[in-house]
Amino acid sequence: MKATIRCIYDEGAEVGTSFIGAKGFSLLVDADGKRMLFDVGRRGRYLMHNLSQADVEPDSVDLIAISCGQKDHTGGLAGFLRERAAPIDIYAPASAKGMKSMLGTKGMHIPEEGAGKAVLHEVNGWVKITDHVHMSPPLASGGSDECFLVVDAAKGPAVLSARSGFGVENAVAEVRGRFDNSPITYVGGAFIGKRDNAKADAVAKAFSDAACTDLHLNHCTGVQGMSMLRAILGLDGVKDFYAGASIELDL
């Protein structure tokens, strides 16, 4: 039995594909007979385009997990709900909820036409979403809260993280406390962004201390951040995980 993790939305897109690269983050996770979206990117039209390129119909998705309320992670929700016929479960921290105003949409906004399709579940602690996929408690992250996912894989836990604004070392500690094991795989964002030697050093140390060497990074890790991590961890130590990329994990 395997779990498949595919990048649906990122600033980068796989060369030779028709995936669109745009600011935002979304992963598609297939595990335990369930299909889920982890975040929905910034714009619905790009999300729907990339789902189409992956041959994924909106109604084939069983649930959505939202990491945080930032628009890069929630903005595609309205567009996704418009394309669905059936209601869908949405797991999110309370702080991710938002509203629409004259200044634009902030946070996870459910439009009136999509209200009947969104079944909201507030995440306050660890949530077992499927037999092998878990959602973390909200962790403090840059003035708000952020959750991550863990795939309890055969070789060890795999962290799926949108931003890691809470610090990679704190995700490692949470995983150790829950699964009695450090993550060996890390997929998604490891917040570095613009050139910041101190952040890059801290992120690299957290991965090294945890012996987490299977790294597939994107989004707010940043191009410069990726280069800095490779300078510390080696050229093959960090893999790009652009839109269209995928990995499989044995369960």
The rounded average pLDDT for each run of 10 residues, N- to C-terminus, in the chain (251 residues) is: 98 96 98 98 97 98 96 94 95 83 65 84 97 97 89 98 95 97 97 82 94 96 91 92 98 97
The model's pTM is 0.95
Alpha carbon dihedral 12, 15, 17, 20, in 10-degree steps, equals 20
Specify the pLDDT at position 142.
74
How far apart CA 91 and CA 135 sit, in angstroms, is 9
Q: Which CATH architecture has domain 2-250?
A: 4-Layer Sandwich (3.60)
Q: Which alpha helices (H) appear in the chain, and where do they start and end?
A: 44-53, 71-74, 77-82, 168-179, 197-209, 223-233
Specify the pLDDT at position 138.
97
How far apart CA 37 and CA 165 sit, in angstroms, is 20
